[in-house]
Each structure stands twice: as structure tokens, then as C-alpha cells.
Structure 1
Amino acid sequence: MLKPTGLSLLEILLLIFTATMVASGIVIANIDIQWFEEVYVVEDGFVENWTVVPLLIAAAYAIYVYRTKRKDAGWRFKLMVGMIALFSLFVAGEEISWGQRLLGHESSAFFREHNAQGETNLHNMVVGGKKINKIVFSQLLVGAVGCYLFVLPFFYRKHREVRQAVDAWGIPVPQFYQTVACCALFLSILLIPSGKNAEILEAGITSLFLLILLFPYNSQLYRATDVL
């Protein structure tokens, strides 16, 4: 552990990397918006590709925990860890359009017609004239993230019954500094005068998602492992 912060080296590096990526985006966007959009957050560029990296690491870690967790962990714990792995892989697949550009194959007629970018993925699908990811990010995700970052940690610390239920399900609870980092990220995006600021948000939030998964407040649940 590093003093006086009490954070591990990996935690500090992840925070510094994420902060640097976001701060660079803010500065670049306000100096040269064209360079920001056509180079910094360009399709298949560094920022977009980085979004996938924390998700793949998170999936690998969740699979590792699933495989090595002690046998008395219970089905609920393993179900949650399995869902985290599947969720991470699904979002990573969506981000790279399931390897469409990597493999060089064309989208089907259905996706060319109903996908805003003509890609083989679900988050850019258009429903009722609106992109699915806009609906999710503007409504569902904001409420869910708010509850996860603020409501869950509060009740976890205050109520034993909640703590027992959360631990039984293996839900990683955010630490206070992680909640602050997420809030800072969401506020920072407002400083980027570009419609592509969501690319920075996605890259930042996946990094912080990995940080919470690796170093949750209830980290003891993930550390006590025995090979099955």
C-alpha cells in the first residue's frame, strides 16, 4: 500500500491514467475541436479502443473469481460474478461491433437500415427516431448509476441486513473516492464542446468500472478464494 493515500499502486495508476485521458480531451477539444473529433476520439482510435481494454480485464477477473471462489460462496454470488463477466464481454463486443471492422465484413441489410452508423451492434440501433444508447444513457443509466454510487454505499454501511444481502450476492460496493471520481468524470464531460464527448465518458467510465470491481469497499468477498 502507498502512504499517505492508502491506495495501492494499481489504483493510483488507474486514476492518473483516467484523469489524464479526460483532462487531455478537455484541453484538446477547447483548443482544436476538429483535431479532437478527427484524431483524439476518431473511430477505432486510441480512446475508443481503450474503452474495450478495461472491460476485457473485468471479464477475465470475474471469470477468475468465479473459478477460484471458495465453494461455500453460494449460487447468488457466483450468479452475480458470472453476470459481471457476461456484461463486460457484451459491452466490449458492442464497442467493437462484434469484430465487424476487424474482420472486414459488411453489415446485413437490417443493420444498415436500422442502425444509425450502419454497424452490427445494438447500442446504435434507432427506435422511434432515437438511438438506443441515447435512451439508455439519458434515462435508465443515470438513475441506475446514481443508486449504485450513492444509495447502495450508504445503506450498505448503515444497515446490517442490506450488507448481508449485498455480500451474499457478491455486489461490489464503490468506495467513497471511486464515487467522487465517477462524479468528477460526469461533470468533466460538460467541459467538452463536442457531440463526441460521449467517447471520453465511455472510456473513463469503463476504467472506473474496472477500478470498482478490482478494489470495492467489500473487497474481502473477492480476496478469500480457494481453487475449486
Structure 2
Amino acid sequence: MNIFSKIEKIAYSILLAIVLFGLILGLWDDIYFDVNYAQEDGPVEWGTAIMLFGIFALSLYHLLTLWNTKKILWKVGTFLFVVLFLFAAGEEISWGQRIFGVESSEFFIENNAQGETNLHNLVVGEKKINKIIFSQLLFLVMFLYLLITPILFRKFSWFKDLANKFAVPIVKWHHTIAFIVVTVLVALNPASRKWEVYELAFGAIFFLIFLGPLNKEIFEPEQPK
């Protein structure tokens, strides 16, 4: 039995090369890594935005093409994913601010750690929002989604039905393993901007999850009973 599809093999190979090269570069010269490999508006950051936008586009495609064959809860769940990943992609590139040369408003200049038009770099008190979200809330969500959800999906029919009704793609175990491997490799990198690579890995693996989830039938037309 072939565990990986051709796309998954290619994607994992490229992702592993990016993470390993980043680790080697970070161990060799962490300053060079920060300034040239994971710099602001660099290829790593753009790669993350492309992956997130890809999930948005894929979810929108599912929503539009399956609209007439799916029930309301499926439409609600898929629409929420469309909004979520469009927001994530927009935030990653500061909503095209630097692309179009748009100046930040006074509010963002004063309250954004990088003076950009986005929410994830806003400073509340003395903490950046993205530090609160990514280091605490996101860790909890990822733990539940990658480790607990697939167990519940396989064990309880009510949970399986609930996930399918709301079009929640369930991870395969190789997705979970990929996240664990990437987490370890990124954690070993001493560079301060290593988490840019982690965000890219996050986007790439999530794209693979949405492309080929365990419950792939949620992205197929419902057969009339």
C-alpha cells in the first residue's frame, strides 16, 4: 500500500530540504540566516503566504463546486475555512501593503511592532499578539488537532459525523509525524527568525491536509439516498 501520493512525496521532499538547509545555515551563521534566508518579504515568508492562499483557494473551490450537493453545516464549515485562510494569507503579507506601497495609519505605526498594517504584530501591553497566539493558543489548537482529533475521529462515530458535517479535514498520521519532525528540526535552529521557517512548514503541511485528508469524502459530491 502506497502511503504517500506523488504530490505528497514531492512536497515533503521540498519541505525537508528547506528546513534542513535552514537548520544548517542557522547553525553555521544565524545572522546570515536571519538577514538573508528568513528575512522580511523573503522567499520563506512569501512561501508561507502562497501556501495559506492555496488553502483559501482550495476551500473556495470546494465551496463553489459542491454548493448544490452539500448541506448547510458543510457550507458553514467550509466558508469559515475560506475566511480563516484568506485572513491568514492577508496578514502574512500585511494585506499587500508593501506590494502596493501603502503607508500605515497612525494607529498601526504607534501600536504595531513593525509599523505594518496587520493585526498579528500589534502590541498589547508589552506583548505582541502573535506571540500570545502562536506560542500559547496555537500550540494548544495544534496539539488537539494533530494528536487528539484523529484519535477521536477513529474511535467515536459521533465525532466522525460531526467533523464530516462541518467539513473539518482530519489529518493522516504522516501529517502529524511531519509536524513533529519539523518542530524538532526548527527548535534546533539557533537563529532568532527560525519561526518563519516553521510558519512555512505549517502552511505546507496544512495545504497537504486539505488536499488529501483522511476523510476525503467530505470533498466529494453527496450521493442521493
TM-score scaled by length of structure 1: 0.94
In the TM superposition, 1:160-175 aligns within 5 A as 160-175=157-172
Question: Residue 209 of structure 1 aligns to which amino acid in structure 2?
Answer: F
Within 2, Cα distance between the matches of 1:177 and 1:186?
14
Give the deviation of 1:56 after TM superposition. Answer: 1.3
Instruction: For residues 52-73 of structure 1, give each alpha carbon's deviation from its aligned partner in whole angstroms, at most 9, with x where no partner exists.
Output: 1111111111111111116342
Instruction: For residues 81-114 of structure 1, give each alpha carbon's deviation from its aligned partner in whole angstroms, at most 9, with x where no partner exists.
Output: 1111111111111011111111112111111110
Matched, 1:208 2:205: yes
Matched, 1:177 2:174: yes
Give the counterpart of 1:88 among 78, 85, 88.
85
Matched, 1:68 2:65: yes
Give the deviation of 1:6 after TM superposition. Answer: 3.1
**Would the aligned equivalents of 2:49 and 2:92 in 1 still touch at CA under 8 Å?**
yes
Within 1, Cα distance between the matches of 2:220 and 2:211?
10
Give the counterpart of 1:19 among 16, 35, 54.
16
Give the deviation of 1:224 after TM superposition. Answer: 3.2
Aligned twin of 2:136: 139
Identity of aligned residues (%): 35
Give the counterpart of 2:184 among 173, 187, 207.
187
Instruction: For residues 166-197 of structure 1, give each alpha carbon's deviation from its aligned partner in whole angstroms, at most 9, with x where no partner exists.
Output: 11111000000001101111221111102211
In the TM superposition, 1:6-45 aligns within 5 A as 6-45=3-42
In the TM superposition, 1:42-53 aligns within 5 A as 42-53=39-50
TM-score scaled by length of structure 2: 0.95
Give the deviation of 1:122 after TM superposition. Answer: 0.3
Within 2, Cα distance between the matches of 1:15 and 1:161?
32
Within 1, Cα distance between the matches of 2:12 and 2:220?
22
Q: Which runs of 5+ in 2 are unaligned?
A: none
Q: Which runs of 5+ in 1 are unaligned?
A: none
**Would the aligned equivalents of 2:77 and 2:167 in 1 still touch at CA under 8 Å?**
yes
Give the deviation of 1:225 after TM superposition. Answer: 6.8
**Would the aligned equivalents of 1:173 and 1:212 in 2 still touch at CA under 8 Å?**
yes
Within 1, Cα distance between the matches of 2:200 and 2:27?
19
Within 2, Cα distance between the matches of 1:34 and 1:135?
25
The RMSD of aligned alpha carbons is 1.4
Give the counterpart of 1:128 among 125, 128, 132.
125
Moved more, 54-63 or 65-74: 65-74
Within 1, Cα distance between the matches of 2:135 and 2:56?
26
**Would the aligned equivalents of 1:56 and 1:92 in 2 still touch at CA under 8 Å?**
yes
Within 1, Cα distance between the matches of 2:157 and 2:146?
18
Within 2, Cα distance between the matches of 1:60 and 1:159?
31
Question: Residue 111 of structure 1 aligns to which amino acid in structure 2?
Answer: F
Give the counterpart of 2:97 among 89, 93, 100.
100
Q: Kindly tell me the number of residue pairs found equivalent between the two proteins.
A: 223
**Would the aligned equivalents of 1:114 and 1:126 in 2 still touch at CA under 8 Å?**
yes
